[in-house]
Amino acid sequence: LCVGGLVGCGRRVFGRLRVVRGDVAAEVAGTNGTAERLTSLGAQMGRDKSCAAQYGDWVLGLLHGDLGTSVVSGKAVSAQVSSRASVTFPLIVLSLLIALAIGLPLGCAAALTRNVRLRGVFHAAAIVAGAFPALWVVLLLILLFSKGIGLMGLLPSQGFPDAGWAAPLSAMAALVLPALATGIPAGASIMRYTRPAVGDMASSHAVAMAMACGMTRPQAVLRVALSLATPPLVSVTGLT
């Protein structure tokens, strides 16, 4: 099903690019491009072939890992994607770890507490933190922690080191603020789902059996109820 969806999207994008008015070769050649230059660029881009042949060449290159060459920069698309992915994927992992570090402990604490007021505080905190857009969160974090304009001046607020991951400390520091900006709202969402999921499992027979075997209620909830609530929480984490 996923492969069929990707094939369908690829066909739609390819077809719409061929329907759009304008000539890419003319854009690259500029206003002073000659007819010979336009013909040469068109041949390089495969514009002299039929749409079916162009689509076949694109699919064949895709199967071999060749995403083509960017018309704008003239560089290989795969090289540009890999250079961006070296920043994007670590940012995703770091923000996910922050969200889990916030959502799971606080959600379990909200499920364990029997104090109605404290449970209301946890519930209100999850709603408020989840309601803030990531843009507002990152602005607040910049005003507090960024170097230059922040009150504390601890972390860089823009850019990525030219050395990349060859300077791991600088690279990690550059990802902290954006990871916090996306991780805090996601953590609040995970917390909202963790509390009822763990709370429902806390009243199950499995937890009662664990407590009968000698576990305390917090131990039974954290070891048994959280394990039983893991499948729906994995789905929620993936969606956030």
Structure-token pair, residue 65:
């890992």
Return the higher-pLDDT residue of 14 and 122: 122
Environment class of 32 (CB within 10 Å of its CB; exposed 0-12, middle 13-18, buried 19+): exposed
pLDDT tens sequence across 4-61: 787 788 778 777 767 766 666 666 666 676 777 777 777 777 777 777 787 787 788 8
Dist. CA 205–CA 8, nearest whole Å: 47
pLDDT tens sequence across 221-238: 888 888 888 888 888 888
Q: What percent of the chain has pLDDT over 90?
A: 5
Q: How many residues does the chain have?
A: 240
Q: Is the pTM of this model over 0.75?
A: no
How many CA atoms does the CB half-sphere of 94 hold within 13 Å? 18
Q: Residue 94's pLDDT band (boundaries 50, 70, 90)?
A: very high
Positions of E strands within 17-119: none
Dist. CA 220–CA 202, nearest whole Å: 8
Which DSSP category does 204 fall into? S
